[in-house]
């Protein structure tokens, strides 16, 4: 019999409330979901629907106000801050809307930083970063610093950094938002290929219909709740 594999993410009745002075904002209201290893999932929905908040919880960057969240079978409520940091470092890649690149590092050094923390030898880091940046059209920008790059170029560096260490899952908040259509298509092709060949899971948000149609599963949020969860043949669709 095949060995049981727990879900990559399993959430039960997640609530997230932000409090500002005397005002409470209910960003998530009772989210329950299961995402298995190897899935390619997009969170869709209007601005303010809770997509970014949910991504932050799945990426272990924030904690729910109520509810339970498990990662690969581990109850995160019983993990120390140090344990959560190791899970983020070794198993989760991130692409933030604000890029979060280190300003004193070049594009190549930013791409290699997680691999360096993991102790990967420098020649292997350099090979992987050179290959990824080349595939994302940044051959001529590898030795430039973030303030010498356009917003779209910084976005591509952030994507390269997220996938360079071959994490179990990549969490991405609008990964193609600042890219032209050609570069966005190349990025989606790379993500699809990594999902198929390396088994890396992807959970990302997007407003772009061309990106959404590439996903295998679409979770639609509205007012902090999942209002639709459907599968589609997205990985074989053209961008």
Burial class of residue 51 in the structure, from the number of CB atoms within 10 Å of its CB (0-12 exposed, 13-18 middle, 19+ buried): buried
Enumerate the domain spans of the chain: 37-66+81-236
Q: Is 83 or 21 the better-scoring residue by pLDDT?
A: 83
The CATH code that applies to domain 37-66+81-236 is: 3.40.50.300
| Residue 18 contacts residue 27 (beta carbons within 8 Å) | yes
Pairing of strands 9-20, 23-35: antiparallel
Mean pLDDT, the chain, as a whole number? 90
pLDDT confidence of 237, banded at 50, 70, 90?
very low
Query: Taking residues 219-231, what's their average pLDDT?
Result: 95
What is the model's pLDDT at position 215?
Answer: 93
Q: State residue 235's pLDDT score.
A: 55
pLDDT at 51 over 80: yes
């Amino acid at each position: 019999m095949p060995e049981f594999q727990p879900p990559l993410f399993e959430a039960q009745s997640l609530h997230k409330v932000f409090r500002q002075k005397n005002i409470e904002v209910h960003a998530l209201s009772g989210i329950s979901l299961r995402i298995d290893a190897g899935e390619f999932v997009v969170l869709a929905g209007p601005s303010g629907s809770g997509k970014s908040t949910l991504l932050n919880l799945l990426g272990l960057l924030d904690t729910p106000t109520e509810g339970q969240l498990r990662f690969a079978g581990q109850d995160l409520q019983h993990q120390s801050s140090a344990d959560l940091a190791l899970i983020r470092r070794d198993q989760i890649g991130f692409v933030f809307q604000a890029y979060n690149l280190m300003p004193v590092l070049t594009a190549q050094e930013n791409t290699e930083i997680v691999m360096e923390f993991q102790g990967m030898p420098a020649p292997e880091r350099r090979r992987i970063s050179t290959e990824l940046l080349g595939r994302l059209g940044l051959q001529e920008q590898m030795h430039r610093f973030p303030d010498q790059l356009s917003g779209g170029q910084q976005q591509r560096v952030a994507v390269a950094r997220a996938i360079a260490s071959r994490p179990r899952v990549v969490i991405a908040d609008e990964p193609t938002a600042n890219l032209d259509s050609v570069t966005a298509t190349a990025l989606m092709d790379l993500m699809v290929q990594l999902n198929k060949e390396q088994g890396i899971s992807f959970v990302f948000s997007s407003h772009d219909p061309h990106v959404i149609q590439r996903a295998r599963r679409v979770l639609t949020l509205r007012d902090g709740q999942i209002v639709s969860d459907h599968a589609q043949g997205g990985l074989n669709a053209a961008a």
